[in-house]
A and B are shown apart, each in its own frame.
Chain A
């Protein structure tokens, strides 16, 4: 279970998160919606440990352990995964080697044996097939020369292989066509179960048609201004954020 209490964070002198309260029980998928600049991506970065952001108050625990006290790699080993809004290119780093190194690092942290190249490729090929990705994406350099859609699918592939307990998807749906969107949603749905939860940051209702959330939260000016069931996303699609933010202010 993810428990966030009065979380405040800033970049430089600029406060971005101004007291977030949010609980995501095991097995649930929660959507975070809100206008640009409301702090959605910052929330994802702060939870996964990017050090450009300074936490100025509050707490975030995952299954009882303090996330904010851990290095990014420790958070990953604890089961946290951030699907990046703009996945990073790694020229000179082979995608399959990258994925295997990450998986083995996490397995090592759990005291499990490492997978050799053959065992890994067998597993990775099953995952690429499920995500309708061509095999050669494993051979290419990480995200280099990938289209926007391929980069997003590569994030979902990493998630499928690393099998996190808490996935944070930062606008993974943006730039995807309807078919790709459905593949991405299926990728997340495949992981759903009692020991998996997700925070889905999105601008659009359409992802939530395929990936039905338990709760929807609206973030504005660094605070959650409203929470509700899946119907809230549909309401926002019709009426926009303006009325809601004015009401909260």
Chain B
């Protein structure tokens, strides 16, 4: 059993010598984590980046690495994975027996540890924690002009422990890949993932995240992406599960004509808390960033969107757009929205907007007057609200998989 920041640090000490990769980097991360603590925890530093999300419940949770409680095979069978390679991680470790490996360009972090160059363990306590304890993950390198097709990265837990996967994705010039990250399953674990992504000139990465974990789990996902000239990083996140989740994406548009889409939908009920935080840095001219983020919040759930757009002096002709919309299905639900624009260039187009609303009673009556029962009418209007965000997923098969996940969420709520 380990509890709180002290527990994590203790385990790091126990694992010393058995952890793959640069030990000096791990030691520095451990020092940074010890210094910062868990945001919101009793010893944690207060920070603007964690203004709306306290990790206190995480600091107080007891994680048990030892005893498996949930069958990975059972979870996997219910996932409706797509007919494509799947790399399955259970309790933070790759499981060959459950995986269908990609044809080329794949290695595991356990064998080729790569901490990358973009992450900031000194500024991000959860990234420091991952850097300290990560033992496995996916390392994907696609050569110039190659098409990696679709790869699914699946994470689930058999135990109620804390698991830290570390992914690294490099697309060389003109390469293409669709990466679908799915995390799901039962239990009261923590999944704390860090991904570093490089999309080289003219390359195209579609990155889908489906987080559908048990409402007792903790989920933290931090992504750093560097997008080169005329390259595209097209990401969509669907958060449905977890007691507390934080999805944080740092995308740097570092080459002229680069494009980033950081779209998301979060659907929450009960006492769930889901935080979607993005930092888009425009450092080169003629780049485009687009964000449509929708929250649907029932019961006492809470959704957070923090979106920062930084435009450097050199990033002329930047086109940045950010829209955050929330639908509150209960008077006790809450949404916190914090858009931030920091612009140093003088010839840019940047806009942002935020709306909060409830279901329209006229639309509800219209549907019900046609014979559609109340719960079904609500589901139709919620899905319609989400449609604009989901429409950003260009691949029909993936989009319908996500729609099924939303549909199942509704069925679970009604049960």
**A residues neighboring B (CB under 8 Å):** 48-52, 71-73, 75-77, 81-82, 84, 87-88, 90-93, 98, 101-103, 105-106, 109, 158, 162
Contacts A105-B372, A106-B371 known; 10 new A-B pairs at CB < 8 A: A49-B368, A52-B361, A71-B368, A71-B374, A72-B368, A73-B368, A82-B369, A90-B366, A92-B388, A93-B381
Which residues of B, 357-386, contact A by the 8 Å Cβ criterion?
361-363, 365-374, 376-377, 380-381, 383-386
Residue in B361, B371, B384, B388 whose beta carbon sits within 8 Å of that of A76 in the complex: B371
Q: Nearest Cβ in chain B — how far from A123, in angstroms?
A: 16
Note all chain A residues with C-beta closer than 8 A to B387: 92
Q: Nearest Cβ in chain A — how far from B389, in angstroms?
A: 10
B362 pairs with A88, CB closer than 8 A: yes
The number of inter-chain residue pairs (CB within 8 angstroms) is: 73
The residue among A48, A72, A158, A162 with the most chain B CB atoms within 10 A of its own CB is A72
| Closest residue of A by beta carbon distance from B362 | A88
Note all chain B residues with C-beta closer than 8 A to A91: 384
A77 pairs with B371, CB closer than 8 A: yes
The residue among B365, B370, B380, B385 with the most chain A CB atoms within 10 A of its own CB is B370
Contacts A71-B374, A73-B374: A90 and B368 contacting too (C-beta < 8 A)? no
Q: Nearest Cβ in chain A — how far from B362, in angstroms?
A: 5
Cα distance A77–B370 in the bound complex, in angstroms = 8
Note all chain B residues with C-beta closer than 8 A to A51: 365
Residue in A52, A72, A92, A101 whose beta carbon sits within 8 Å of that of B369 in the complex: A72
Cα distance A101–B363 in the bound complex, in angstroms = 15
| Closest residue of A by beta carbon distance from B386 | A92
Q: Nearest Cβ in chain B — how far from A112, in angstroms?
A: 12
Q: Nearest Cβ in chain A — how far from B295, in angstroms?
A: 16
B363 pairs with A105, CB closer than 8 A: no
Bin the interface of chain B by size: 20 to 34
Cα distance A103–B368 in the bound complex, in angstroms = 12
Q: Nearest Cβ in chain A — how far from B407, in angstroms?
A: 13
Cα distance A50–B374 in the bound complex, in angstroms = 13
Q: Nearest Cβ in chain B — how far from A25, in angstroms?
A: 24
The residue among A71, A77, A101 with the most chain B CB atoms within 10 A of its own CB is A101
Residue in B369, B371, B384, B386 whose beta carbon sits within 8 Å of that of A90 in the complex: B384
Note all chain B residues with C-beta closer than 8 A to A106: 371
**B residues neighboring A (CB under 8 Å):** 361-363, 365-374, 376-377, 380-381, 383-388
Q: Nearest Cβ in chain A — how far from B180, in angstroms?
A: 24
Q: Nearest Cβ in chain A — how far from B316, in angstroms?
A: 35
Note all chain A residues with C-beta closer than 8 A to B383: 92
A101 pairs with B380, CB closer than 8 A: yes
B371 pairs with A88, CB closer than 8 A: no
Note all chain B residues with C-beta closer than 8 A to A72: 365, 368-369
Q: Nearest Cβ in chain A — how far from B401, in angstroms?
A: 18
Cα distance A93–B387 in the bound complex, in angstroms = 9
Contacts A84-B366, A88-B362, A88-B366: A101 and B384 contacting too (C-beta < 8 A)? no
| Closest residue of B by beta carbon distance from A52 | B361
Note all chain A residues with C-beta closer than 8 A to B362: 88
B384 pairs with A109, CB closer than 8 A: no
B384 pairs with A73, CB closer than 8 A: no
| Closest residue of B by beta carbon distance from A103 | B371
| Closest residue of A by beta carbon distance from B390 | A92
Cα distance A48–B366 in the bound complex, in angstroms = 10
Q: Nearest Cβ in chain A — how far from B2, in angstroms?
A: 46
Cα distance A48–B377 in the bound complex, in angstroms = 16
Note all chain A residues with C-beta closer than 8 A to B380: 90, 93, 98, 101
Residue in B369, B376, B386 whose beta carbon sits within 8 Å of that of A48 in the complex: B369
A162 pairs with B384, CB closer than 8 A: no
Note all chain B residues with C-beta closer than 8 A to A162: 370-371
Q: Nearest Cβ in chain B — how far from A162, in angstroms?
A: 7
Cα distance A109–B369 in the bound complex, in angstroms = 14
A105 pairs with B369, CB closer than 8 A: no
Note all chain A residues with C-beta closer than 8 A to B388: 92
A76 pairs with B376, CB closer than 8 A: no
Contacts A50-B365, A84-B366, A105-B376: A92 and B384 contacting too (C-beta < 8 A)? yes
Cα distance A81–B368 in the bound complex, in angstroms = 11
Cα distance A127–B371 in the bound complex, in angstroms = 19
Complex A-B, nearest 4 residue pairs according to Cβ-Cβ distance, in ascending order: A92-B384, A76-B371, A102-B370, A92-B387
Note all chain A residues with C-beta closer than 8 A to B366: 84, 87-88, 90
Note all chain B residues with C-beta closer than 8 A to A109: 371
Cα distance A155–B111 in the bound complex, in angstroms = 64
| Closest residue of B by beta carbon distance from A142 | B366
| Closest residue of A by beta carbon distance from B364 | A72
Note all chain B residues with C-beta closer than 8 A to A103: 371
Q: Nearest Cβ in chain A — how far from B292, in angstroms?
A: 13
14 contacts between A and B (CB under 8 A): A49-B365, A52-B361, A71-B373, A71-B374, A73-B373, A76-B370, A87-B366, A88-B362, A88-B365, A92-B386, A101-B372, A101-B376, A102-B370, A105-B370
Q: Nearest Cβ in chain A — how far from B13, in angstroms?
A: 53
Q: Nearest Cβ in chain A — how far from B361, in angstroms?
A: 8
Note all chain A residues with C-beta closer than 8 A to B371: 73, 76-77, 102-103, 105-106, 109, 162
